[in-house]
Amino acid sequence: MTLDYAAAVEKYEPTLGLEVHVELNTKSKMFCSCATEFGAQPNTQTCPVCLGLPGALPVVNAKAIESTILIGLALNCSIAPYSRFARKNYFYPDMPKNFQTSQYDEPICVNGYLDVEIETDEGQKTFRVDIERVHMEEDTGKSLHVGGSTGRIHGAEYSLLDYNRAGIPLVEIVTRIVPGTGKYAPQVARAYVTELRDILRSLGVSDVKMEQGSLRCDANVSLAPVGSGKLGTRSETKNVNSLRSVERAVSGEIERQANRLENGERIIQETRHFLEESGATRPGRSKEQAEDYRYFPEPDLVPVTPDAKWIEELRTRIPEKPSLRRKRLQAEWNCPDKEMESLVNAELLDVVEETIKLGAEPTRARTWWLGEISRLANEKEVAPTSLVNAVQVAEVISLIVSGELTDKLARQVVEGVIAGEGSPAQVIEKRGLKVVSDDSALMSAIEAAIAAQPDTAERVRGGNIPAAGALIGAVMKATGGAADAAKVRELLLKHLGQG
């Protein structure tokens, strides 16, 4: 028999545990001054230290410590006044020293939490995810196993190694077990990683790109019969490369384990590999026999002892929690859900907020950034914020509001700013884009239009007001769009005795 998800969670209570690895965006590596840029030619960003050459010694990147403390503070952790690095010993070709320098039993941040909200059958509900620890470690190199069927080192013909990634600072954020999520376990997992990603982004400490591996999530899942109060054997799913995959991996694993239990099979404690295409997992390394990493304090590094004053100073730099900020801004701007979502996804929240702070009216600010500017950015395949800034957009909007620019002219101004012709005022000046509001100038254009279309004019005079559209169009065309259409209409109708 097979249990589907609904049946699985009716019978079994899932318990979650999440381990998130974050690559910090420091300019240099954790223990040396090598660059960390993504995508460079293999083995070009290496030195004796990150290659583990004989005699080389690590030195801790102070910026990485700062970033880790910021993460800890944002996750409501205590910051340890004394923490140490340890060596985790095991042999693997992508690890140059055959040990990984990582914090172990003395991590820098402990005992935090993160509240996440999800939509349940009973409406919005908050789950508290307790954070056990946030610690620093170094990434390993990257191996590519060529030949063989599995893509793993066993059976490969040869392996290619790229040590550019070796020594990139990693922060590992480990939750305590998250009980009581019931059938919402997959959503809680996704909400947690989403909230965490947003926090990390707001702190500016990581690129948080799951697809590039700068944010990686391992999902631990175990099941126990509902009401048993027990904890089952857990599996650890790796290679979960998107938010959606987090949700799918957890629900898939719940289903798989429930069916095993249902068939009287036991759950094997192991790592499992998430398969993006099918949403299933395949078994990896067994963890039944705990590997002995022979951890001991790293003798080449001195303990990390951050000054209490510095920590307090860092605390003042923790921005508002992104989910709360979104709620606040949405209310302040009176912004529809959909639009808010688009702003968040397009990473435009900050710039829109800035534009509004500069005096722009919220609806116009949102519309400009999401509309015209995003369209141009899409065309050029760049980020909208790389084209224009908040100050320029706020200026354009204020000119529209004051009637000095029409929407159409404003688009030309923005174009000019992007083309590097200067500030909006300079573009207007250079391109002569001022709204033509001089009545006499408009009147001559109106008269010209009437002269060109005497029949239409006659119909308007006869009371056919909609027919005026054609004349207004002609005037607008003649003025190159520089006229205020409403003004043209007013003058035209008055002239034809309909005002």
CA 352, CA 358: separation in Å to the nearest integer?
Answer: 10
Find out whether 213 and 40 touch, Cβ atoms under 8 Å: no
Shortest CB 48 distance to other proteins, Å: 5
The SS3 assignment for 313 reads helix
Of the pair 285, 294, the CB lying nearest other proteins is at: 294
Report which DSSP code applies to 483.
Answer: B
Binding of other proteins by 366 (CB under 8 A):
no
DSSP 200-250: HHHHTS----GGGTSEEEEEEEEEEETT------EEEEEEE-SHHHHHHHH
Binding of other proteins by 146 (CB under 8 A):
no
Binding of other proteins by 28 (CB under 8 A):
no
Shortest CB 54 distance to other proteins, Å: 4
CA 81, CA 348: separation in Å to the nearest integer?
Answer: 37
Binding of other proteins by 104 (CB under 8 A):
no
Contacts of 239 (CB under 8 A, 6+ apart): 273, 274, 276
Helices 337-345/322-333 angle, 10° precision? 130
Shortest CB 57 distance to other proteins, Å: 5
Shortest CB 72 distance to other proteins, Å: 22
Shortest CB 313 distance to other proteins, Å: 23
Stretch that binds other proteins, among 44-52, 313-321, 371-379, 438-446 (CB under 8 A): 44-52
Of the pair 122, 157, the CB lying nearest other proteins is at: 157
In this chain, which of 35, 57, 144, 441 binds other proteins, going by CB under 8 A?
A: 57
Query: In the structure encoding, which two tokens stand for residue 415, read together?
Result: 């174009």
Phi-psi region for residue 225, left (φ > 0), alpha (ψ -120 to 50) or beta?
A: beta
Stretch that binds other proteins, among 84-92, 276-284, 430-438, 484-492 (CB under 8 A): 84-92
Binding of other proteins by 376 (CB under 8 A):
no
Binding of other proteins by 87 (CB under 8 A):
yes
Residue count, binding to other proteins (CB under 8 A): 32
In this chain, which of 96, 112, 416, 424 binds other proteins, going by CB under 8 A?
A: 96
In this chain, which of 40, 146, 153, 448 binds other proteins, going by CB under 8 A?
A: 153
CA 175, CA 166: separation in Å to the nearest integer?
Answer: 25
Q: Which string of x and - marks every residue 417-446 that binds other proteins (by CB under 8 A)?
A: ------------------------------
The bridge status of strand 296-297 relative to strand 281-286 is unpaired
Hey, which residues between 278 and 317 contact other proteins (CB under 8 A)? 290, 292, 294-296, 299-302
Shortest CB 299 distance to other proteins, Å: 4
Integer-rounded Cα radius of gyration of the chain: 31
Contacts of 259 (CB under 8 A, 6+ apart): 2, 3, 8
Contact residues for other proteins (CB under 8 A)? 48, 51-60, 87, 89, 91, 93, 96-99, 153-154, 159, 161, 290, 292, 294-296, 299-302
